[in-house]
Amino acid sequence: MAVSKTLNGFTLIEVLIAISIISIIIGALYGAYISNVKGIQITQQDSHIYQTARIVLDRMRKDLECAYIGSEASKKSAFGMIAEHREIEDIPVDRIDFTALTHIYSKQDNLTTDLCEIGYFLKKDPDTNLFILYRRDSGIVDSDLRHGGRIDELAYMVKGLDLEFIDKQGDRFKYWNSLKGAHKNELPSLIKIKLILSDKNGGKHVFITSVHPELSPLITR
């Protein structure tokens, strides 16, 4: 007597349904993975931008707090602050040069004084079409307050540097000159700094702080 055997298996429809379910699960997992990776990248990018801003503003704050006006006793050296407001394609690219007591020494530096010339300025970066922020530090204070010394790159991907100066009467200015004019032999009572950085996607990040030079008078009104 012959015994018949029944072979159990999956039909084509069942296989297609299983493949569809697996595809949906894999797609969901992949989407979650990609979203997680992008989130990590954005967090790392923002962390780098905030760290850059913190370093730059901290350095500028220390320099400007120690700005030095000097006296008229020395006619061979220029002591004070010169700042001008500039714009390139509606982007603020302000420049400031001043004497301060925050000289950063180098191995080739034989000077023993903290007195120096400090400068901050922007230059166009041909690779990104944005700007690079530079810091100038000269241990020799001469009659030219705006040139000389060592120049260091301080920050890349800069979208702007905007400075505002407030005198002891509370009046606001986009420029300052302690060598001549209405503010001769004076430092501003308050300096507002707006630093604008860009991320890799072109997003704009704005950081603002204020600095009171220690040798300047307080605002009287």
Per residue in 155-207, pLDDT (tens digit) is 999 999 999 999 999 999 999 999 999 999 999 999 999 999 998 888 899 99
Q: Which tens digits make up the pLDDT trace of 127-155?
A: 988 999 999 999 888 889 999 999 999 99
User: Dihedrals φ, ψ of 199, to 5°?
Assistant: -95, 180
The model carries a pTM of: 0.79
Q: Which sign, positive or negative, has the C-alpha torsion 195, 200, 204, 206?
A: negative
The answer to whether the CB of 166 falls within 8 A of the CB of 186 is: no
* pLDDT (0 to 100) of residue 73: 46
* pLDDT (0 to 100) of residue 28: 80
Q: Which of 198, 174, 162 is nearest to 52 (CA)?
A: 198
Q: Which tens digits make up the pLDDT trace of 14-72?
A: 778 888 888 888 888 877 777 766 665 655 667 889 999 999 999 999 999 999 987 65
The answer to whether the CB of 205 falls within 8 A of the CB of 52 is: no
* pLDDT (0 to 100) of residue 150: 92
